[in-house]
Amino acid sequence: MIDVKHLSKSFGDHQVLKDISEHVYPGDKMVIIGPSGSGKSTFLRSLNLLEEPTAGTITFDGEVITDPKVDIDRVRRKMGMVFQHFNLFPNMTIRKNITLAPVRTGLMTQAEADDKAAQLLSRVGLVEKADAYPNQLSGGQKQRIAIVRALAMNPKVMLFDEPTSALDPEMVGEVLAVMKELADDGMTMVVVTHEMGFAREVGNRVLFMDEGKILEEGSPAQIFGNPQNPRLQDFLSKVL
Amino acid sequence: MELYELWKPLMREGSASFWQEFYVKFYQAFLEGSRWKQYLNGVGTTLLVTAMALALGVVLGILVAVIRTAHDQQRTGRKNPVLGLVNGVCKVYVTVIRGTPMMVQLLIMGFVIFSSSRNYTMVGALTLGINSGAYVSEIIRGGLMSLDPGQAEAGRSLGLGYVDTMRFIVIPQAFKAILPALGNEFIILLKDTSLITVIGGKEMVYAAQAIYGRTYEQMFPLIGIACIYLLLVMIFSWLQSLLERRLRQSDRR
């Protein structure tokens, strides 16, 4: 579904991603783990071109999206993204947060989008918050809304950039539960996270990144049960 | 009226009491020959010039700020040469306007560029608008840059285009953040209209000067227009605080 070839990214002289090739298959639950500064967030953000790759190509649904001629807005409509800091729009109600993009991009009418929003909100148990503003919600609620907002566009793949890292510990569970449910529904997901439990339970492939490279990848059982790379062994000994 | 006729001779003799003198001077400054109408005309011109300069300043400011921000946010490898050129023009504009005194700009516009024009009010409004635009553009640019980049990223990641993201997400939030600074700029603009006297604009200072030119009594006309400016600014600040309260709606918890 997403094919990454020889992806490199530099910020000035600092090379963050070093010649990464990877493939995301439909239905994949790919979990990327690694220490801070390993390039995992940059890699994820490259997938929908929030970061412009310095070199390499990314193909999504058979289309080379790194080509400057591609209308990136159209591509992004098929790729949902959830951010560490939620990035809800504080100047709009929850309903408006969810319906803005589907309506403005012509995907739905306002009435259809409102229906969709109500349906998704009830799925995450926040239907009564539709008319609240983001600042009136807890972090966990905000992140569940952010997931709903991305889902309202009917994306083919969901990208999660450390979705629980900015949450109070007691709110992590509610967000992971929503993500787990989404995974069970068969959504293709790429998740950057520090939640090893989630990686083990939900992921079907786990990637370990460090210093801009994918050092090891495999099933959760392999990565957590039988790590080969010494960097990974060291990393796991610290976080588990 | 009668009191004025009664006390005026006393003043010439030098035997008027403080309050009698006060009344006579006040009468001369504001009431004699319906002089208050001159101030009123001046207030009208001041407000007209402010409104026109404000409109022009805001339009120019938004235009320049959006061009400069758009230029800085281009995708690498997709630099638009036209945008680069326009961005250069905008930079020169801001540099020149901010680098020269308001008064000098007015004199140049009034006596060099539009030296043949007799419509001093319009020339004044144009100059003030162009001047204000440079400052407003920097205020807006600051507001756009101060916003968390994650907001624009969230908009773009949902597939919204640059224009929609700016229109629905970035600009409404930036506007709220820059409102105090904008209010400040507009108050400065309102008071700077007093400068158009130097090219013959008939606003409040012009009225005051015309009157004390005849009565040789400067205090009352000048204090008078100072009070009018103060009143106008206070009304303006009040309107601004109303607007701020309205925009704070989404902050309630």
Residue A93, pLDDT score: 94
Q: Going by DSSP bridges, is the β-strand pair A157-161/A79-82 parallel, antiparallel, or unpaired?
A: parallel
CA distance B151 to chain A (A): 6
The lowest-confidence range among A83-97, A187-201, B27-41 is B27-41
Residue contact A81–B157, C-beta within 8 A: yes
**Residue A153 is nearest to which of B158, B164, B250, comparing CB atoms?**
B158
Of all residues in chain A, the percent with pLDDT exceeding 70 is 100
pTM of the model: 0.81
Residue contact B159–A105, C-beta within 8 A: yes
Please tell me what DSSP assigns to residue B113: I
Contacting residues for A40 by C-beta, under 8 A, at least 6 apart: A32, A33, A34, A192, A207, A209
Q: What is the mean pLDDT of residues B176-182?
A: 91
Residue B76, pLDDT score: 61
Residue contact A50–B250, C-beta within 8 A: no
Residue B31, pLDDT score: 82
Residues of chain B that touch chain A, judged by Cβ-Cβ distance less than 8 Å: 75-78, 148, 150-151, 153-161, 164, 168-169, 172-173, 176, 250-253
Amino acid at A107: L
Q: What is the mean pLDDT of residues B177-185?
A: 91
Residue B17, pLDDT score: 82
CA distance A95 to chain B (A): 13
Residue contact B159–A85, C-beta within 8 A: no
Confidence of residue A85 (pLDDT cuts 50, 70, 90): very high
**Residue A76 is nearest to which of B76, B159, B172, comparing CB atoms?**
B159
Of all residues in chain A, the percent with pLDDT exceeding 90 is 92
**Residue A101 is nearest to which of B75, B158, B250, comparing CB atoms?**
B158
Number of neighbouring beta carbons within 10 Å of residue A17: 26
The secondary structure of B36-95 as a DSSP string is HHHHHHHHHHHHHHHHHHHHHHHHHHHHHHHHHHHHHTPPTT---HHHHHHHHHHHHHHH
Confidence of residue B148 (pLDDT cuts 50, 70, 90): very high
Q: How far apart are CA B243 and CA B175, in angstroms?
A: 11
CB A186 within 8 A of CB A217: no
Identify the residue whose tokens are 């807006």: B140
- In chain A, beta strands by DSSP E: 2-11, 14-24, 29-33, 55-60, 63-64, 79-82, 157-161, 188-192, 205-210, 213-218
Site from B146, B158, B176 to mutate, A interface, most A CB atoms within 10 angstroms: B158
Which tens digit of pLDDT belongs to each residue from B82-112? 888 999 999 999 999 999 999 999 999 999 9
Confidence of residue B9 (pLDDT cuts 50, 70, 90): confident
Which tens digit of pLDDT belongs to each residue from B110-142? 999 998 888 888 999 999 999 999 999 999 999
Residue contact B250–A100, C-beta within 8 A: no
Number of A/B CB contacts below 8 angstroms equals 84
Which pair of structure tokens corresponds to residue B130? 């162009």
